[in-house]
């Protein structure tokens, strides 16, 4: 690599010889912490509780129901009303959960 290419210039903040060794050293330090965390806790941060996925499943289920109903038509009113009702119940349940946990 030529000196011109290696050096800091218009595009780069630092020259390659200063940047990459420090970058790789910091990357290694962070990967070591990541490794430790993955082995002990399975994640860098608090893991997602299983009930969180239930919210996804709920939404997916309604999306499928609406896709089928929209495709076959006509869409019955009960489908609309029960969707909004169940969404409200989900919001209330999550609210209760968060209040219970003091957040």
Partner 1 sequence: MAKEAIEKEVLFGALPVLAEDRVYGFVDYVWLQMAYGIASWAFLVGGLTGIVLPATEAITAAIAGEGLGLFASAFYAVIFGRYGADQFLLTRAAFGNRGGNLQLAIWIPINYGWIAYSAFLFGMSAIKLTPLIWPQVPSVLATVWPGATLWAVIATAIASYVAWKGPIACKWFTRVTSPLMLIVLGGLIYYIFAVEGIGAVFARQPVAAYETRHLSWMNAFEWNLGLGFAWCYYWGQWSRLAKTESAALHGPWWGWGPVLCIAVVFSILTALIVGTFDPTDWFMAIGGATFGGIGLFLFAIANIGSIVLLIYTAAIPIKVAIPRIRWVHASVTIAAVPAVVLFQEVVFNNYAVFLTLIGCLWTVYGAIIFTDFFAFRKKKGYWTVDEIRDMYMMGKIFRYHKGFNLAAWITYLSSVIIYLGVYNPLTGYVGYFGVGFPWVSGLLLVFGYAIALYWLLMHLIYPQEVKRLRVVE
Dihedral angle sign, alpha carbons of residues 6, 12, 15, 18: negative
Q: Give which of 60, 58, 80 is closest to 69, Cα–Cα.
A: 80
Using CB under 8 A as the binding rule, whether residue 92 contacts partner 1 is answered as no
Q: Is the peptide bond before 29 cis (omega within 30 degrees of 0)?
A: no
Enumerate residues 23-42 that contact partner 1 by CB under 8 A: 23, 25-27, 30-35, 37-38, 42
Using CB under 8 A as the binding rule, whether residue 96 contacts partner 1 is answered as no
Q: How many CB atoms lie within 10 A of CB 13?
A: 8
Q: 23 vs 93, which CB is nearer to partner 1?
A: 23
Binder of partner 1 out of 2, 4, 49, 102 (CB under 8 A): 49
Q: 44 vs 93, which CB is nearer to partner 1?
A: 44
């Amino acid at each position: 690599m030529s000196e011109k290419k290696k050096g800091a210039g218009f595009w780069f903040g630092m020259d390659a010889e200063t940047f990459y060794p420090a970058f790789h050293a910091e990357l290694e330090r962070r990967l070591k912490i990541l490794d430790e965390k993955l082995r002990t806790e399975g994640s860098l941060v608090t893991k997602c509780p299983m009930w969180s996925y239930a919210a996804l499943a709920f939404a997916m289920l309604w999306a499928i129901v609406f896709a089928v109903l929209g495709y076959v038509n006509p869409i019955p009113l009960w489908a609309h009303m029960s969707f909004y009702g169940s969404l409200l119940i989900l919001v209330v349940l999550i609210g209760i959960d968060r209040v219970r946990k003091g957040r």
